[in-house]
C-alpha cells in the first residue's frame, strides 16, 4: 500500500473505499491508512460540506471540513431497500440507487424517500438490478443495470447503461456493468464480468484495461482513474485492490492491495482533494 499512500501525498488527495463484506470504510491519504467500522457500507456521496455513507437500513450523513472535526448531520432511515451508489445533486439533494424497488430515489427531509426515476422497460425476467449512478452537469444522467428487463440479470452480456435524460438505453451488451461516470466527454464504466474498465463508444463498451478482479468502484482525480477490484464471490479468484490508471494509455501506475488489510470486496470509491481524517467520523450506524 505504500505506493498508493505516496501517490495520494503527491496528488494531495484522499481515497475513500467502502468494503461491505467486512463492514469497513477505508481512507487512504498521504499520511497513511485509517478505517472505520460501519455495518455493510455501500454507496458513498461527497459534497463540499457533507459525506453520506449507505449502511444497512439507513444512510448516515456527516458534516465535514478538511481539518475536521466531523459530526452526524442526520440519519435517513431507508429500511432494507439495498441502497447502492449515491450522489449529491447540484441542488443539494441526495439521490441514490434503490435496488430493491428498481428505481432511483431522493432522500426526504424526514425518514422517507421519493422515487425520482424508474427504467422505461418492464423487467420480464425479474428486476434490472440497478446499481450505479453517473452524474453529468450536477444531475443524475446514467444508471448501470445488469439487464434492461428482456433477459435474466445473471445472463452474461445482458447489462445496459440507461440514459435518464432520454429515458432510453445508452449502451447494451455489457457484462455486469457498475460505476458509470461522465469524464472528459465520455461515459466510463466498470465491466465487472470481464474485470475491466473502459468507455462507451457508439453504444458499445470498449475496454481500456483489464484488472485482477471483479471491477467495481470508479473515480477520477489528478489525471488518474482510480478503480476498485474485488475477489470474485463465485470463483474465489482475483484480488481486493485499488488501481491508479493513466486514462490516455491504460497503463496501471500504482496498485494498492487492500487484501493486506483483510478486505475481500470493494463497492464504492471516491477520490477527494485534501486530507480526510476518517477516524474522526462517529462510527455508530
List of domains in the chain = 2-279 (2.120.10.30)
| 18: nearest Cα among 268, 281, 278 | 268
| pLDDT (0 to 100) of residue 284 | 44
Q: Model confidence over 201-238: pLDDT tens digits?
A: 999 999 999 999 999 999 999 899 999 999 998 889 99
| Calpha distance 61→230 (Å, rounded) | 26
| 220: nearest Cα among 239, 248, 240 | 248
- Would you state the cell numbers that stand for residue 126, as one nine-digit string? 425479474
Instruction: With residue 10 as reference, give the H or E element that holds it.
Output: helix 2-11
Per residue of the chain (285 residues), give pLDDT as tens: 999 999 999 999 999 999 999 999 999 999 999 998 999 999 999 988 889 999 989 999 988 765 555 677 888 889 999 999 999 999 999 999 999 999 999 987 656 788 999 998 776 656 899 999 999 999 999 999 999 988 888 888 999 999 999 999 999 999 999 999 999 999 999 999 999 999 999 999 999 999 999 999 999 998 999 999 999 988 899 999 999 999 999 999 999 999 999 999 999 999 998 887 655 555 544
Grid coordinates 432494507 are at which residue? 80
Provide long-range contacts, Cβ within 8 A and 24+ apart, for 113-121.
Answer: 113/76, 113/78, 116/140, 117/143, 117/164, 119/143, 119/145, 119/148, 119/149, 119/162, 120/162, 120/167, 120/168, 121/148, 121/149, 121/150
- Max CA-CA distance within the chain? 50
| pLDDT (0 to 100) of residue 285 | 46
Instruction: With residue 219 as reference, give the H or E element that holds it.
Output: strand 214-221
| pLDDT (0 to 100) of residue 279 | 53
Amino acid at each position: 500500500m505504500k505506493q498508493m499512500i505516496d501517490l495520494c501525498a503527491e496528488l494531495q488527495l484522499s481515497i475513500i473505499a467502502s468494503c461491505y463484506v467486512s463492514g469497513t470504510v477505508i481512507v487512504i491519504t498521504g499520511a497513511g491508512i485509517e478505517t472505520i467500522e460501519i455495518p455493510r457500507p455501500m454507496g458513498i456521496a461527497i459534497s463540499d460540506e457533507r459525506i453520506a455513507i449507505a449502511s444497512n437500513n439507513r444512510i448516515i450523513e456527516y458534516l465535514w471540513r478538511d481539518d475536521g472535526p466531523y459530526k452526524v448531520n442526520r440519519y435517513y432511515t431507508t429500511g432494507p431497500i439495498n441502497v447502492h451508489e449515491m450522489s449529491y445533486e447540484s441542488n443539494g439533494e441526495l439521490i441514490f440507487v434503490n435496488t430493491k424497488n428498481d428505481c432511483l430515489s431522493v432522500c426526504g427531509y424526514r425518514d422517507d424517500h421519493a422515487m425520482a426515476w424508474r427504467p422505461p422497460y418492464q423487467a420480464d425476467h425479474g428486476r434490472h438490478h440497478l446499481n450505479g449512478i453517473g452524474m453529468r452537469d450536477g444531475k443524475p444522467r446514467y444508471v448501470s443495470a445488469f439487464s434492461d428487463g428482456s433477459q435474466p440479470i445473471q445472463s452474461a452480456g445482458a447489462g445496459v447503461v440507461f440514459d435518464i435524460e432520454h429515458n432510453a438505453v445508452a449502451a447494451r451488451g455489457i457484462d455486469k456493468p457498475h460505476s458509470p461516470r461522465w469524464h472528459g466527454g465520455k461515459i466510463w464504466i466498470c465491466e465487472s464480468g470481464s474485470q475491466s474498465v473502459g468507455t462507451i463508444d457508439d453504444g458499445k463498451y470498449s475496454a481500456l484495461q483489464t484488472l485482477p478482479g471483479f471491477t467495481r468502484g470508479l473515480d477520477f482525480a489528478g489525471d488518474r482513474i482510480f478503480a476498485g477490484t474485488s475477489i470474485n464471490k463465485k470463483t474465489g479468484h482475483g484480488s481486493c485492490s485499488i488501481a491508479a490508471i493513466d486514462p490516455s494509455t491504460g497503463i496501471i501506475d500504482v496498485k494498492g492491495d487492500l487484501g493486506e488489510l483483510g478486505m475481500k470486496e470493494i463497492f464504492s470509491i471516491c477520490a477527494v482533494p485534501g486530507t480526510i481524517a476518517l477516524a474522526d467520523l462517529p462510527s455508530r450506524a
